[in-house]
Amino acid sequence: MNVLISGAGPAGLTVAYWLRRYGYSATIVERAPSLVVGGYKIDVRGAALQVLRQMGVHDAVVAAHTDMQGALLVDKEGKVINRMSGDDFGHRVGGDVEIVRGTLCQILRDHLGEVELLFGDTIQGITQSSDTAQVQFTKNGVREFELVIGADGLHSNVRLIVFGEESRFLRDLGLYLCVYTVPNYLNLDRMEIQYSELGRIAAIWSSRGDANARACFGFAAPSIRIDLRDRVQQQEALRTVYKGIGWEVPRLLEMMPTVSDHRRLCARRRTGGGVRHSFARFRGIRERDAALCRSQSGAGTQIGKVDEVRRKEVGRQLAPQAVDAENAGPHDGVDYQSLHRADHPSG
């Protein structure tokens, strides 16, 4: 059986692995020109760890973990008001492991084996018959598959093509997140600093092996709609929402890149309440964020990896046999790194 998967994120790569392991032939189409690396750091917890073990990638993921040593919460003058260990800040317990999303994808990809990967392409249309789906690609012409899996994220293209406008299936919570790369001008070493005001959070971190740092903004803006494909609008919105805010925020905003390092600038509406459909209508399934989008931080990846219901759906469909910039000079302000070391000598 030939299966097409849209999206080479954690969900698409994972499902491709399992399909191949059960003897199916998988093709992944990914919109980006190459595997999307970098991005934010995500925690893999609980049952997902077991899935990593079953896939034989657990050790590689642990070896590549972020090794975050701690986090400092600061006030608007940059004065430290709370210090936490990396694990406490990430609510990690036991064997929970934090890894940069792109690093996880790289590991999953390296472990895939023979799976066809079509980068820089996307599905334009799907025509279904009783036992096949004819897929029109933007660049790769028309091809026939027996099953199409939408693993193309929160704003799933497959969902759009097959089920219609995403506004029918997503609930807009009015929350946005933006992550971009900045020089590690605070000389952070596996450390995160976070500043928050009501409805607005700003943070900067640098994880293991990263010569740069990431600036992250999370804010509530239910009354404005930011077009996630309009980069200029996203930049303006960010500057407007964070106008007059304290700490390092003005400097971080000045460092906002003019070209994207992670898909788009990355202001991303948080949504929830993905809707399930009658699978009889569609010769395909959707995975993880394309299907459920229950969380934007803390559980998304593991839901994608272990959601038993999804696996049963996969099983039913496939039955019977299966279920940067260079570092700037040292910052002349607070030495956050040594402040943290004083509190966490082992860090």
Ligand X SMILES: Cc1cc2nc3c(=O)[nH]c(=O)nc-3n(C[C@H](O)[C@H](O)[C@H](O)COP(=O)(O)OP(=O)(O)OC[C@H]3O[C@@H](n4cnc5c(N)ncnc54)[C@H](O)[C@@H]3O)c2cc1C
Q: Which residues bind ligand X (CB under 6 A)?
A: 6-12, 29-32, 36, 40, 42-43, 101, 122, 151-153, 157, 177, 263, 287-290, 296-302, 304
Q: Residue 7 or residue 284: which is nearer to ligand X going by CB? A: 7
Encoded tokens for 30: 């990914």
Give least dist CB 248 to ligand X, A: 19
Shortest distance (Å) from residue 186 CB to ligand X:
20
CB of 36 to ligand X, least distance (A): 5
Output the smallest distance, CB 347 to ligand X, in A: 21
Q: Which C-beta is closer to ligand X: that of 15 or that of 318?
A: 15
Q: Is 122 or 206 the residue whose CB approaches ligand X more closely?
A: 122
Which residues, at least 6 apart from 341, have a Cβ–Cβ distance to it below 8 Å?
347
- Minimum distance, C-beta of residue 102 to ligand X, in the bound complex (Å): 9
Give, in order, the Cα–Cα distances in Å from 203 to each of 131, 211, 272: 50, 17, 24
When the beta carbons of 164 and 298 are compared against ligand X, the nearer one is 298
Give 271's strand partners: 172
Give the residue with the Cβ less far from ligand X, 80 or 299: 299
Q: How far apart (Å, rounded) are the C-alpha atoms in residues 286 and 314? A: 9
Give the nearer residue to ligand X in terms of CB position, either 96 or 343. Answer: 96
Cα separations in angstroms, 167 against 26, 122, 151, 276 = 30, 21, 18, 14
Closest approach of ligand X to the CB of residue 71, in Å: 14
